[in-house]
Amino acid sequence: MSLWARFRGGVHPDAHKTTAQCATKPLPRPERVVLPLRQHVGAPCQPLVKKGDEVALGQPVGDTDAPVAAPVHASVSGKVAAVEPRLSPSGRMEQAVVIEAAPEDTPWVGLPAGLGWDLDPELLDPAFIRDRVRQAGLVGMGGAGFPAAVKLSPKPGSEPDVVILNGAECEPSITSDHRLMLEQPERVVLGLRLFMRATGARRGIIGIEANKPDAAARLSQLVAGDPSIAVEVLPVRYPQGAEKMLVWALLRRAVPVGAIPLDMGVVVQNVATAAAAATALAEGRPLTDRIVTVSGRVQSPGNWRVPLGTSFVDLVRSAGGLTGSLARVIAGGPMMGMAQADLDVPVTKTTGSVILLGPEDLDETPAGPCIRCGRCVSACPMGLLPAQLCAAALNSDWAAAERFHVRACMECGSCSYVCPARRPIVQSIRLAKFELGRRARQGRG
Amino acid sequence: MSKTESGELLVASSPHLWAGVSTGRIMRDVLIALAPAALGAVCFFGWRAAAVIALSMGTAALTEWGCARLMGKPSTLADGSALVTGLLLALTLPPASPFWLPVLGAAFAIAVVKVAFGGLGHNFVNPALAARAFLLAAFPAAMTTWTSPFDAVTTATPLAVLPNPFAREVLAGDLPSYTDLLLGTVGGSLGETSAVLLLLGAAYLLVKQIIDWRIPAGFLATLALFAWVFGGTGGLFTGDPLYHLLAGGAILGAFFMATDYVTAPITARGRWIFAVGCGLITALIRLYGGYPEGVLFAILLMNVVSPLIDRFLVPAPFGGVKGRA
């Protein structure tokens, strides 16, 4: 137990983990999937198929030579109905491959065959593991969507010594990682070993918030004989699952602004990404589905294994339909997730949960003036001055925003969560970042 | 089940959760915390005290509402900050105040100090304290007519009779005891006499994490230290720090005035500087100044400095910045 391992700031929202005891169920196969060609941070993929093509389950439908990207695979067998811009949960229109599902999935053998579940990571070549991780289209499934293979390819001179698996799941309402750790702990551990082998790291740590003792116990049991892997229980404090907080809590290494954990010798991957990597190498299966928590105003909230590209509409239907009227749909957690303009958007690699809120769940207290109470300052895990950042952004004082380190903000939302005046703090910070980015690009061009 | 069927979906920026502690709730907590001292004042000084408090709060609220009306803006009365200002001002007034005094003061506090500078969050000095300074400058006689609790005998405020080697008359034997100061059975402003009742409210605010402990701690510790070192008649280290803490407005000021969010710095380090500054100026004025208004002017002066403190104290982000020391 490393319950002492606290980071500065943070908040403690009610957990609302009402679906923690809901075993993962398979979602009925959708009739149609919409696969955005950008489901990751970085360059979008180019389509590899065109309208009318027959595709098999697991067949790549998009890829690119760009260094920071991950291919996208068909999550059902069927016929390509369209390759066109569709609304993605990111809020953007993204080029997407739309597939009409065939009556049954046909097995497809295009990916290299799996190595079986008794594979020994120590016998594999690190480059082989990285290649498979890339081919399988793995990205950070915790929500960030950073291509997993890129993280496993350290620059010369920065050899990581630790791989951390992020099982904190600090966002309220989400239980998909929790269920994964309980139901498929072997995959999580195998994934960790593969990542350690791929990076040459000698230590592996699985960090889990203390509100998931069953998952921590299961994983501890599995790694009991392995001194190189530790399961660490972390304090329940949002945003414990933020990379920099996790690295600090577990290793007492502070990652500077502008640096990444890799600069401090640490690779951080989500537990779901690790499990997907294990599946990719053992079964030869690319990333075509993920666990999604559906919670809020639906008849039967729970956890589902969902083919990527499935519409939120199908998810809600499987969860028994809506109870009452719908006011806000969030893809991801209530602290950092994206509000959706339409329910007909697809589940992507980074969609850990879909939260459906009614008007009664939303507090419409209007924004008032900042009373400079400093609650945002105490809550900011990055040690910033959110009130000052907000004021600078709303005054279009971009220089001041920079002076107050606007770029260090990870948009965790702790400041807005505690603000008694309901200031649009995160929103204004995003505006400042956008504006500064635009100016930087203009300056260069 | 698209949006047409389900009604309009609200798209808003994350986070989609809120802790639910609003400005109004904070102000209500401050009112609750001041209630013991206010009720104590009514007990000690009778119905006159109740009238002063009611007039001050009523005028503050009315002025806030009226200003919004005049400017054609929505009323900001609901946030409760005007009532807090009204109550705080009342607690700094003498029990024998003529009734126009709280009315004038509260109207000045809200209209001139607060609304004229942009309303809640934009005033650069504490409205209640600024109003008290105004009344003191304009009506010194009315502001310094003190009465003893339970009877209406005019008396001196303890601070005016504190042993003072420099500026003040020494009236030995005339000092109230610690017990009197703690309970509030001494002359003085309505709400600053009973340390016990004020500390009760302060404890409430600290427990509910409404105020930052650094400000009263830094303020009172600095004042006590300075008073102990330099405040005695028998040379260095002969002063009476406890007396300085209990007498006058030190407790009211340190817990309820200096902690005013709007006019204090926003960072922890800034608040330490602010608090020490308040303590130091209070001690300087009390020991070497001409009249016993240390707390008032110390806080007002530090209010003016606090934007500067905030401007120059920008903490480094967590982990520092890459490429910089």
Per-chain mean pLDDT for chain A: 94
Residue B321 lies in a domain: no
Q: Among B153, B151, B256, B148, which residue's Cα sits nearest to residue B195? A: B256
pLDDT of residue B166: 32
Please report which confidence band the pLDDT of residue B151 belongs to, taking 50, 70 and 90 as the band edges.
low
The per-residue pLDDT for A234 is 94
CB burial string B28-62: b at 16+ within 10 A, e below: ebbbebbebbbebbbebbbebbbebbebbbebbbb
- Is pLDDT at B150 greater than 50 in this prediction? yes
Measure the CA–CA gap between A105 and A209, rounded to whole angstroms.
Answer: 38
B295 falls in which pLDDT band (50, 70, 90)?
Answer: very high
Least confident of A102-106, A367-371, B256-260, B300-304: A102-106
CB-based contacts of A279, cutoff 8 Å, min separation 6? A187, A285
How far apart (Å, rounded) are the C-alpha atoms in residues A406 and A429? 7
Contact B15, A416 (CB under 8 A): yes
Q: Percentage of residues in chain A with pLDDT exceeding 90?
A: 90
Give me the domains of chain A, ranges plus CATH numbers.
121-283 (3.40.50.11540), 375-441 (no CATH)
Q: How many CB atoms lie within 10 A of CB B269?
A: 12
| Percent of chain A topping pLDDT 70 | 98
CATH number of the domain bearing residue B250: 1.10.3430
Structural domains of chain B, count: 1
Percentage of chain B surpassing pLDDT 90?
A: 63
What angle in degrees, to the nearest 10, is found between the helix axes of B23-45 and B47-71?
150
Phi-psi region of A89 (alpha: psi -120 to 50; beta: other; left: phi over 0): alpha
Closest partner residue to B318 (CB to CB) among A254, A372, A413 is A254
Q: How many CB pairs under 8 A join A and B?
A: 187
A237-241, A328-332, B144-148, B243-247: segment of lowest average pLDDT: B144-148
Encode B228-246: b = buried (16+ Cβ within 10 Å), e = exposed. Answer: bebbbeeeeeebbbebbbb
Q: A45 labelled as ligand-binding?
A: no
According to DSSP H, which parts of chain B are helical? 3-6, 23-45, 47-71, 81-91, 100-108, 127-138, 140-143, 178-183, 195-207, 214-230, 241-246, 250-252, 268-288, 294-312
Residues 183-212 of A with CB under 8 A from B: none
Residue B265 belongs to some domain of the structure: yes
Q: Say what the ipTM of the complex is.
A: 0.90
Q: How many CB atoms lie within 10 A of CB A275?
A: 27
The answer to whether position B16 is within a domain reads no
pLDDT at A173: 95
Of B325 and B86, the one with more pLDDT: B86
Binary contact (B9, A335; C-beta < 8 A): no
> Nearest-CA neighbor of A403 among A391, A418, A416, A419?
A391
Q: Kindly report, residue by residue over A367-380, the tens digit of the pLDDT.
A: 999 999 999 999 99
Residues of B in contact with A256 (CB under 8 A): 319-322
Confidence of residue B5 (pLDDT cuts 50, 70, 90): very low
Residues of B in contact with A327 (CB under 8 A): 7, 9-10
Q: What is the DSSP string of A99-122?
A: EEEPSSPPP---SPPP--TT--GG
Is position B107 within any domain? yes
- Say how far apart CA A234 and CA B296 lie, in whole Å: 47
Binary contact (A244, B319; C-beta < 8 A): yes
User: What is the average pLDDT across A59-81?
Assistant: 95
d(CA A444, CA B11): 33
- Give the model's confidence band at A4: pLDDT under 50 very low, under 70 low, under 90 confident, else very high: low
How confident is the model at residue B169, as a pLDDT? 32
Look at residue B191 in the predicted model and tell me its pLDDT: 81
B212 touches chain A (CB under 8 A): yes
Q: Which of B18, B310, B320 sits opposite A417 (nearest CB)?
A: B18
Flag whether pLDDT at B157 surpasses 70.
Answer: no
* pLDDT at residue A355 in the model: 97
> Helix B127-138 to helix B81-91 angle, to the nearest 10 degrees?
40
| A419 marked among binding-site residues | yes
Q: Which of residues 391-430 of A touch B (CB under 8 A)?
A: 403-405, 408, 411, 413-414, 416-418, 420-422, 424, 426-427, 430
Q: For A214-233, write each residue's pLDDT tens digit.
A: 999 999 999 999 999 999 99
- The answer to the question of residue B324 being in a domain is no
Of A13, A342, A374, the CB nearest to B9: A342
Name the pLDDT band for B172 (thresholds 50, 70, 90): very low
A164-185 pLDDT, tens digit per residue, is: 999 999 999 999 999 999 999 9
- Confidence check: pLDDT of B44 > 60: yes
Cα–Cα distance for residue pair A282/A289, rounded to 1 Å: 16
Identify the band that residue B185 occupies on the pLDDT scale cut at 50, 70 and 90: low
Mutation pick from A326, A404, A415 vs chain B, by most beta carbons of B within 10 Å, is: A326
**In this complex, do B23 and A330 lie within 8 Å of one another by their Cβ atoms?**
no
Strand bridging mode A25-26 / A302-307: parallel
**What is the rounded CA–CA span in Å between residue B301 and residue B55?**
28
Closest CA to B275 of B295, B290, B291, B289: B295
Question: Residue B1: inside a domain, yes or no?
Answer: no
B14 has a chain A CB within 8 A of its CB? yes
* Residue A22 assigned as binding residue: no
Query: pLDDT digit string (tens) for A379-427?
Result: 999 999 999 999 999 999 999 999 999 999 999 999 999 999 999 999 9
Name the residue of chain B whose CA is nearest to A259's CA.
Answer: B322
Per-residue model confidence as pLDDT tens digits over B251-293: 999 999 999 999 999 999 999 999 999 999 999 999 988 767 8
* pLDDT for the residue numbered B159: 58
Q: Is A370 annotated as a binding residue?
A: yes
d(CA A73, CA B252): 68
Contacts of B271 in chain A (CB under 8 A): 374
* Cβ–Cβ contact A254 with B under 8 A: yes
Q: Does B238 touch chain A (CB under 8 A)?
A: no
Nearest CA in chain A to B317: A383
What are the chain B neighbours of A408 within 8 Å (beta carbons)? 317-318, 321
> What pLDDT score was predicted for residue A165?
98
Q: Rounded to 5 degrees, what angle do the CA atoms A196, A200, A204 make?
A: 35
Quick one: closest CA in A to B2, which residue?
A: A343
pLDDT of residue B323: 72
Question: Which residues, in sequence order, are bridge partners of residue A296?
Answer: A356
| φ and ψ of A212, to 5 deg | -125, 55
What range defines the domain where residue B51 resides?
A: 23-313
**Does residue B244 lie in a domain region?**
yes
- pLDDT-derived band at B1 (thresholds 50, 70, 90) equals very low
Geometric angle at alpha carbon A330, from A133 and A350, rounded to 5°: 0
User: pLDDT, tens digit, for every residue of B213-235?
Assistant: 999 999 999 999 999 999 888 88
In this predicted model, which residue has the larger pLDDT, A40 or A110?
A40
Instruction: Look at residue B184 in the predicted model and tell me its pLDDT.
Output: 65
The answer to whether position B9 is within a domain reads no
Confidence of residue A194 (pLDDT cuts 50, 70, 90): very high
Binary contact (A403, B314; C-beta < 8 A):
yes
Residue bearing tokens 């004020």: B198
**Interchain pair A417, B17: CB under 8 A:** yes
